[in-house]
Chain A
Amino acid sequence: MSYLGYPDFFEPYIKKVEQTRPARVEKRKKGEEFPFMSLEERQEILKHHPDYKEAGRREIKVGPNKGYRIAHEFVDLLEAKSKVDPDKVDLTRTDYETDVLVIGGGGAATIAALIAEENSAQVVVATKLRHGDANTMMAEGGIQAASKGEKDSPYYHYLDVMGGGHFKNDSDIVAAFVKQAPDALRWLESLGVMFSKFPDGRLDAMHGGGTCRKRMHYCADLSGLEIMRTVRDEARNRTNIKVLEFSPAVELIVNEHGQCAGALLYNMETEEYLVTKAKAVILATGGAGRLHVQGFMTTNHYGATADGIVLGYRAGVPLAFMHTVQYHPTGVVFPEQIEGWLITERFRSEGSDILNVHGEKFVNEREPRDVESARVIKECLDGKGVPIPTEKVGIWLDSPMLDILHGEGRVRTAFVGKWKVYDRLGIDISKAPMLVYPTLHYQNGGLKNDAECETAVPGLYVAGEVTGGLHGENRLMGNSLMDLVVFGRIAGRNAAIFAKKKAKEGKLTLEHVKKYHKELEEAGIITDRVAPMLLPDYTRPEVKEKQLTAIYLGLGGKNRA
């Protein structure tokens, strides 16, 4: 019925992988690597990357980046109306008041909240789902920092970040990042994050795509989970941090002095809109995988719907690097149940080969992510992908090599998270390879900020995936977790200082929303679209056709009219 847990259909293909494996393992042992591409070759291959598909994008007609061509899925949200009628919101009736309001509940948000609190601010964290339900939790590979002075330094980390981002990154932000990364790592260590270490405390480290030194530190293959649950636990110890779950922000509030002065929150369970007044605001809402740009599957969390981009853009913050989206080279394409699920780059870092339908290597496993993904897509377009009965195509990631290279049990212990999930589906990935294909993974760009996490709106700070600049046009593995720690801390500190020293008391307004609505009208955009999206909709068309409610009366049919 099945071969190594896969349907019979795959048996001949898996056997090809097994046939070529001994020779490939030998090459690995000798240190022979598949050649890396030159910068010119990378450029050529990138033509197969979805970012370079002109049909996939269009110009935004409104806002600070009018004329900027980005993915339709983003433009659709930016050319949409507010969830509320700004004239109907009574901003004089505040429901919450605080020094610093943090919007988001993932790594960047939680870390910003901790540091704001340490700088004697009262903090409210407003998040869409549960505290900690975010992409941070799902990050597996690791966290980059130049921590070993005898072979690495911020200089090399800087070069790697820039090379990954096509040399377009914001250099101030990158310099601040590489310099502060080691201290951020030590801070996590002091909070009790269980890093994988040698017995003497030396941090384990490995390569990632595009690194010239092994500086990827990790907590087995659950780095993000371990970091997220630790900082969340610490936030729960702080009485001056109040967390509002299932209460996403739907608009920022700006005061008469032009300072960001809070947000309108939406209690998704009671459907109330709640006015939250703050002296400074940190936007850390994360990414956008659930927009399924160009129809791609995604590794992202249920709540990754670009809310922060919409809020910030309406308030006048420009976008940066939103024309690129990261596709992780290795997302599960089969079995169906875990489709889109991320297979950490560490499998490749440790020596698993990427193989086509003939069991042959065609790319070095450590190219930057965009290059790697584009190369995989090309191999499949050339007809050398592994066919899948669900009318898809994939390539092999040969995980069983790791047990041969590093000793029996390596996959089971170093990739325990992955092993368990596959095991539940009847596949032992220390014996059978994995079927993967590029999957929508990360929002490279976002709201434009500087190295102090400031934006065009005074009092509005940003941190984490919602920002744009650090990663340029393509992020390297292990730099997102470090991004959210370094800049979460900076945003927290600066927002607390702003709240104390620069915030001015003034009338709260949603004038920017009214202005934005007017601009939409003037640009001739007639639409029923409403943003932020908050949650994706996976309802089947067959069900939708029968959802015939003509007038929505709210929960339980209560008439609010």
Chain B
Amino acid sequence: MSVKEEKKNPAETAVKEKKQIAAKLIPIYIMGKRYEVPEGLTIMKAMEYAGYRFIRGCGCRGGTCGACGTVYRKPGDYKLQVALACQKTVEPGMYMAQIPFFPANRAQYEFTDLTSTPEEVFKLYPELFRCVACNACTKACPQGIEVMDAIAALKQGNIAEAARLSFDCIQCGLCTSRCFGELAQYHMFQLARRIYGAKILPRAEHLAEMIGTINEGRYDQILDELKHVKEDELKKLYQERESEPMAAGEDWKPEDTRYL
């Protein structure tokens, strides 16, 4: 890259002066209305290209918030497909609608009072047993979660399994929108994960120990002194601090133990 070109760092101009590489335009149908958009765009960017400006149906734009659940079909295909608008690339002729909100029953509970028994879930969500194992939920999951298997695990009282299977859930609600038994799967999974995280997984004892040490005031003076050292001295302490090697195992111990 020559010096002249240096100013024009290509990635810096990415946003405002985006050069469209002569992309082919393809027709899509946003809620049934035809627009021509460049192929290769996500549904979300294609809608913006068409002139839509989102208030709902747009969130993190990175596939983790669940705001942009979308249903679509392709011409001549009976099959209903699902996607996140920020993740799915447009296809010619696809016709689609976003589902930015879907009503779902969520139980109220006092979390500290719950135990780790499956009956807690059964009590709060008795509709769990309305599941007819049709698997429509799994087909509707843009995250590829085995939703029905996770529900089956809950029915069997296996909270840990339901928690693990549903870990990637972004709570977009598409499963709920398709459920024959009218379950709100994602709320049930949330409950399962919380019970698993707090009441089934063993707690970190070293964490409790550290809090004890802090509360006894072990670091009060050390930190107080650090706050008042001059910048040069601080830099020296920083550069001289011992570093745990990348490849060190869980049993690694530092040589300098003065500030532990």
A192 touches B211 (CB 8 A): no
A158 touches B65 (CB 8 A): no
Per-residue interface assignment for chain A, residues 162 to 204, with 1 indicating a CB less than 8 Å from any chain B CB and 0 otherwise: 1100010001100100110011011001111111011111110
B61: which A residues are within 8 A, CB to CB? Answer: 301-302
Within 8 A of B (CB), among A195-217: 195, 197-203, 207, 212-214
A192 touches B204 (CB 8 A): no
Closest chain A CB from B61 CB (angstroms): 6
B228: which A residues are within 8 A, CB to CB? Answer: 171
* Whole-angstrom CA separation of A322 from B173 in the bound complex: 38
Among the listed B55, B58, B194, B244, which residue makes an inter-chain contact with A191, where contact means beta carbons less than 8 Å apart? B194
B10: which A residues are within 8 A, CB to CB? Answer: 388, 391-393
B196: which A residues are within 8 A, CB to CB? Answer: 192, 194
Q: Is B241 an interface residue (CB 8 A)?
A: yes
Q: Is B119 an interface residue (CB 8 A)?
A: no
Q: Is B177 an interface residue (CB 8 A)?
A: no
Q: Is B130 an interface residue (CB 8 A)?
A: no
* Whole-angstrom CA separation of A135 from B59 in the bound complex: 10
9-residue interface stretch from A95-103, A331-339, A458-466: A331-339
B224: which A residues are within 8 A, CB to CB? Answer: 175
* Whole-angstrom CA separation of A389 from B19 in the bound complex: 11
* Whole-angstrom CA separation of A146 from B222 in the bound complex: 15
Per-residue interface assignment for chain B, residues 26 to 66, with 1 indicating a CB less than 8 Å from any chain A CB and 0 otherwise: 00000000000000111001001111011110111111110
B64 touches A147 (CB 8 A): no
Per-residue interface assignment for chain A, residues 399 to 439, with 1 indicating a CB less than 8 Å from any chain B CB and 0 otherwise: 00000000000000000110011001100000000000110
B15 touches A292 (CB 8 A): yes
B241: which A residues are within 8 A, CB to CB? Answer: 156, 159, 212
Q: A-contacting residues of B (Cβ < 8 Å)?
A: 1, 6, 9-17, 19, 21, 40-42, 45, 48-51, 53-56, 58-65, 67, 87-89, 106, 108-111, 143-144, 163, 167-168, 170-171, 190-191, 193-199, 201-211, 213-214, 219, 222-224, 226-228, 231, 234-235, 237-239, 241-248, 250, 252-254, 259-260
Q: B-contacting residues of A (Cβ < 8 Å)?
A: 28, 31, 33, 38-39, 50, 129-130, 132-133, 135, 137-138, 145-156, 158-159, 162-163, 167, 171-172, 175, 178-179, 182-183, 185-186, 189-195, 197-203, 207, 212-214, 220, 222, 224-226, 229-230, 233-234, 236-237, 239, 246, 268-269, 292, 294-297, 299, 301-302, 333, 336-342, 351, 366, 377, 380-383, 388-394, 416-417, 420-421, 424-425, 437-438, 535, 537-540, 543, 547
Could you list 9 A-B pairs, sorted by A, with CB under 8 Å? A151-B252, A195-B201, A195-B204, A200-B202, A202-B206, A297-B11, A338-B62, A383-B1, A540-B48
